[in-house]
Chain A
Amino acid sequence: MEKKDVVLENVTKKFGDFVAVDDISFSVKRGEFFSLLGPSGCGKTTTLRMLAGLEKPTKGKIYIGEEDVSEVAPFERPCNLFFQNVALFPHMNVSENIAFGLEMKKLPKSEIEKRVKELLDVVGLPGFEKRRTKELSGGQVQRIGIARALARRPRVLLLDEPLGPLDLKLREEMMIELKRIQKVVGTTFVYVTHDQGEAITMSDEIAAMKEGRIIQIGSTEELYNKPRTAFVAEFIGRSNLIRGRYREGKVNLNNLNKSIITGPHKVADNDYVAVCIKPERISIGEDIANLDNVFEAVIEEVYFRGAQINYKVLMEGNYKISILEHYKGKIFEQGKKLKIGWEKEDVHLSET
């Protein structure tokens, strides 16, 4: 069996009567990049804080390495947390911030200096030792926060939306950077985000959370291609969802007296399901009759994105459908009536 660095068993956290985290279980393999993905307020920070020991679970067990850490104080846990608000010490400069955790370990001064320098190299800010925290840009603050959390060489690094406040371009750069850092230091990362792009780009495994529960855990590809519920499908990869009732390889639509051919699925007959189709799997055109599923549609909006075109169309039965197509020199215009279609293999069925 592979080594697990983090294990949560039926962990629940209540604040008064309010259940912030509801009976969640998951495990993270050594060296893995694991993401908790979910909308604001779903309990991501609370989960990380329990791992860090800053919050006590109401129920359940947490293991880091093989050790049950339920009774272990935060300052003795083999993990470090990057705080959602970074929380750099304002009265210390950059190197003092990074060195703090090492001084608590009582490392010799020369060793500390050496490590601080290494860490600044790792996060791409060499020579920043004497900077004051006020003199850092947004992206630099995040990097120093990461360096400080990495300094003690934790077995597990917990990151709470480290790229949250950054603009899109910087965020994309930092995603690559973070993945690179993880490869360099080889630490297990538990990463919290509400941004599906971040989770998909960096993670080996993702746990999708909603209202304190984990809805689905799996590899990035699994969650992308086989979302268990409509929530996951919408949250990851922005799938199109068409609801209906499954019966013998077909889904009879709610709004329309037609059905979508899905082929046989492991769903009981007459169950309500959501048909998920990825925007990039749908064809659009005037003559696509040879596909398994073909519907009439009107183009409502067109977004030209260079390599790709994004059409928002209104399908018969009043379904709003988003389509991504490679640009090959032809654009359909707004208001045009045409056909859209997809093969039965491109369909995935999720719980509604």
Chain B
Amino acid sequence: MSISNKILKLIRKSEKLSIGMQLSPAMFWIVFFLLIPLGILVIYSFWEMVGTRLIPVWDLRNYVDVFTRVGGMYIRLFVKSLAMSALVTVGSIALAYPVAYFVSLRIEKYKYTWLILLMGPYLVCWVILVLGWKMVIGYSGLLNYLGQLLGLISEPMSWMWNNWWAVVFILIMGWAPWLVLPMFVSLEKIDKSLLEAAADLGAKPMKRFLRITLPLSSPGLLVATFFVLIPTFGEFVTPALAGGSRGVMYGNAIDASFTSMMAWPFGSALSIFLMIISLIVATILIRIVGLEKLMESL
């Protein structure tokens, strides 16, 4: 091998090294913010807690408990939370998609102003949002007040608050504005002459939507699914504030095991289980869309 070749190899090696160096801030980030807390959770999930003392027993009892404790209540709660998340995802997409569609395809003037206005709810923090809805649909909220005032109901309706549908409703209302943007982006990217071509080839408006607009905006839909579904699995603020005892979600169970129950190892196992399921769902979604498409539509 000639000397120049050797030098080339050396240069290549050092290049690889420098890429490693460039990556190191990212590595630091991941280690510090993710791996350390996650590692502690993983370790605790194999331990036991007696009183306030943690005992390293190193077995799977907490994971077995996830499925069996209180007659499988936790796993049932998990399934219920999954269903609620799915419902929230579908609901917030159903709410945001038409808005994004309208802004992208029907509005010509001040498109971006509209977009910014639509994202106004970004500015409101979640707790205020939930309590705001309490003012509207809560027991002594606006709807009940108006209903009584107009004589439509004789006493306040209690079915609108402190149950699981209130949780789902508020989550939908809270997420929808976040979804307008990714869906707007993927709709904007559709070349309008494709719709004209479809019309020219005999497609009526509904057919054009189903055959052209919808499939071409599907990356945006999947991005939306991704960003709503996964965080909602572990949601605990909204159910705590608006769900009452009937609206409890899996996230509240995790919360309780770290606080009132003083069962950190069990809580850790609940968390790890949730993360594994999230990871599986995320992987499936990324597989469907492709990572690049996902990043593009951000």
Contact = CB atoms under 8 A, between A and B. Distances in A.
Do A and B share a complex?
yes
Interface of A: 52-54, 73-77, 80-81, 83, 85, 87, 89-91, 100-101, 104-105, 148, 151-152
Contacts of A73: 199
Interface of B: 191, 193-194, 196-204, 207, 211-212, 215-216
A87 B202 contact: no
A218 to B, nearest CB: 29
A322 B155 CA distance: 97
Contact of A87 (B194, B211, B216): B194
A75 B197 contact: no
B202 A104 contact: yes
Given A75-B204, A83-B193, A87-B191, A100 B216 contact: no
Contacts of B211: 100
A230 B200 CA distance: 37
A151 B197 CA distance: 13
A74 B196 contact: yes
In this complex, the member of A54, A73, A87 whose beta carbon has the largest number of chain B beta carbons within 10 angstroms is A87
Given A83-B193, A89-B212, A100-B211, A52 B200 contact: yes
A55 to B, nearest CB: 10
Given A90-B216, A100-B211, A83 B196 contact: yes
A152 B211 CA distance: 18
B196 A75 contact: no
A75 B199 contact: yes
Given A89-B212, A90-B216, A91-B215, A101 B202 contact: yes
Given A75-B201, A83-B193, 9 more contacts: A54-B196, A74-B200, A75-B200, A81-B200, A87-B191, A87-B194, A90-B216, A104-B201, A104-B203
Contacts of B204: 75
B275 to A, nearest CB: 34
A91 B216 contact: yes
B24 to A, nearest CB: 37
Contacts of A85: 191, 193
B186 to A, nearest CB: 12
Nearest to B201: A101
B202 A89 contact: no
Contact of A152 (B196, B202, B207): B202
A266 B199 CA distance: 49
Contacts of A89: 194, 197-198, 212
Contacts of B215: 91
B193 A87 contact: yes
Contacts of B203: 75, 100, 104
Contacts of A74: 196, 199-200
B105 to A, nearest CB: 15
Contacts of A101: 201-202
A60 B198 CA distance: 26
Nearest to A96: B211
B202 A105 contact: yes
16 contacts: A54-B200, A73-B199, A75-B199, A75-B201, A75-B204, A76-B202, A80-B201, A81-B200, A83-B197, A87-B196, A100-B198, A101-B202, A104-B201, A104-B202, A104-B207, A152-B202
Q: Which 5 A-B pairs have the closest CB atoms?
A: A104-B202, A101-B201, A87-B197, A87-B193, A74-B199
